[in-house]
Each structure stands twice: as structure tokens, then as C-alpha cells.
Amino acid sequence: MPVPNLKIEDLHVSIEDKHIVKGFNLEINGGEIHAVMGPNGTGKSTLASALMGHPKYEVTQGKVTLDGKDLLDMEVDERARAGLFLAMQYPSEVSGVTNADFLRTAINARREEGNEIPLMKFIKQLDKRMDLLDMDQEFAQRYLNEGFSGGEKKRNEILQLMMLQPHFAILDEIDSGLDIDALKFVARGVNDMRSPDFGCLIITHYQRLLNYITPDKVHVMMQGRIVKSGGPELAEKLEAHGYDWIKEELGIEDETVEA
């Protein structure tokens, strides 16, 4: 299988006629983890939603390919079947569907008919991965996200990621609201996914998650586009000095998309 590739070229996204993402460029190959960091209101979540095909977000310009195929041309479920996984900042609750049922259905939806995952194999994988994430076994039988704490929802999303084994994942603020323990388990799950067949885009405001997941590349987003790129040391510098020095260096007064 060729190495997975996600390529975003000159992407512009609007919502309700408001221009938010303004010329975003990024290429990620399998085996790589990239972090997009930035202050609030710089268009990070809008970028994630547009890539996943959220109907409210309108792509007005640019091109996105996943393994050479036009991603923007695909329906949401096609994007998922093509190997894209998106963890949302605010995961929703689904009543009446257990976590385990949901996972098995989602896995089988990505497989050919007649080639469903054998139940025992599924259970074995689920057990192993819940163990790695330090999740209680009863979690599998709970209704999806219902009454989950913020930390449980995030951990559950990483469980979904590990079970679905997508080629690409976009994780939007997967670290928000997590205590240090939960953060470590989330990082453990993402690190476990690392392989030449997997590429990952981590979107985060804070550097602390990157203490546990070392990104290959770090990009800073302001005013709806990448304004600076570097290695893991860039995230460390942001941790120590915040974002102001970048604004000064680049002569940016207002970092938000309103500018």
C-alpha cells in the first residue's frame, strides 16, 4: 500500500459568508504527526470541520487531496471510508447505542460486505485497547457519550481511533479539559497508532499534550493561515514565551480571523 498522503492547498473556508480560513497550505505523509497550534479565534476548528465535510462550512477556494483523491468532492461518510478520522472538540451523545455496538458497526461499515470483523477478534482488540487507555471494562456497554465526563469522552475518542485504524486523524483540542493522567493515556493511544500507514494532525491551543506526543512538525496558525512552521522546539518556545513574540516578529496586531 502506498504511504498515506493528505495535501491541503490554498484552502479558503467561509461560514455564513464570513471568511475564516484564508489560504491554508499543509502536506502530511504517513508516519508523520503534525501539530497546528494557535490562539483562540484563529480558524483552527473551522479548518478541521471543513476537512471533515461539515455542511455549514463552505470551501470557497483551494484543493484538498487524500491519497491523491479529491477529498472535497466526497460526502462525509465517503471521507471516513477513505480513511479520515476526525475527533471533534464537542463530541455528541447518542442514546440507545452502546459504545461496543457503535464501534463494531463503524468498523464493519468500513469493510466489504461479507468481510465483517469476527466478534471474538473484535472483543479481543477492544479489551486490549481499553486496557492500554486504562478504561474500565463496563465502559464498552455504556451508551455512547451519555453521561461521560469530558475526560471519558476524549479517552473514548482515542479508543475509536485505535479501533478504526484510519489512515489519517484530525484531533481538534483532544487535550482540552483533561487532567494530566487522562492526557497521558490519550497520548499513549496516539503514540500507539504511530506507523508508516498513519498520519495525524493535532490541533491544539496548548503545548502540554506535545510533551507526551512529539510532533514531527509544528505550525502556528493566525488570521486563518499558517504563519510559522518548525520542529518540536517551536512548541517548546511557545510554551515558554506564548504567542506574542510571533506576532511581533511578523508584525501581526490582531491574530484572529477578524483581522
Ligand X SMILES: Nc1ncnc2c1ncn2[C@@H]1O[C@H](COP(=O)(O)OP(=O)(O)O)[C@@H](O)[C@H]1O
**Single residue of 6, 8, 11, 20 touching ligand X by CB under 6 A:** 20
Chain positions 33 to 72 lying near ligand X, rule: CB under 6 A, are 38, 40-46, 56
Tell the smallest beta-carbon distance from residue 92 to ligand X (Å). Answer: 15
Count of residues interacting with Mg ion (CB under 5 A) = 2
**Does residue 106 touch ligand X according to CB under 6 A?**
no
**Where does this chain touch Mg ion (CB under 5 A) — which range of 18-26, 44-52, 75-83, 113-121?**
44-52
**Where does this chain touch ligand X (CB under 6 A) — which range of 14-22, 114-122, 158-166, 183-191?**
14-22
Cα distance between residue 122 and residue 197, in whole Å: 21
Q: Which residues contact 101 (CB under 8 A, 6 or more apart)?
A: none
Residue 137: how many other CB atoms lie within 10 Å: 10
**Does residue 16 touch ligand X according to CB under 6 A?**
yes
Q: Are 21 and 12 in contact (CB under 8 A)?
A: yes
Cell numbers linked to 93: 451523545
222-249 in b/e form (b: 16+ CB < 10 A) is bbbbbbbeeebebbeebeeeebeebbee
**Single residue of 14, 42, 45, 145 touching Mg ion by CB under 5 A:** 45
Using CB under 6 A as the criterion, which residues of the chain lie in contact with ligand X when the complex forms? 15-16, 18, 20, 38, 40-46, 56, 256-257
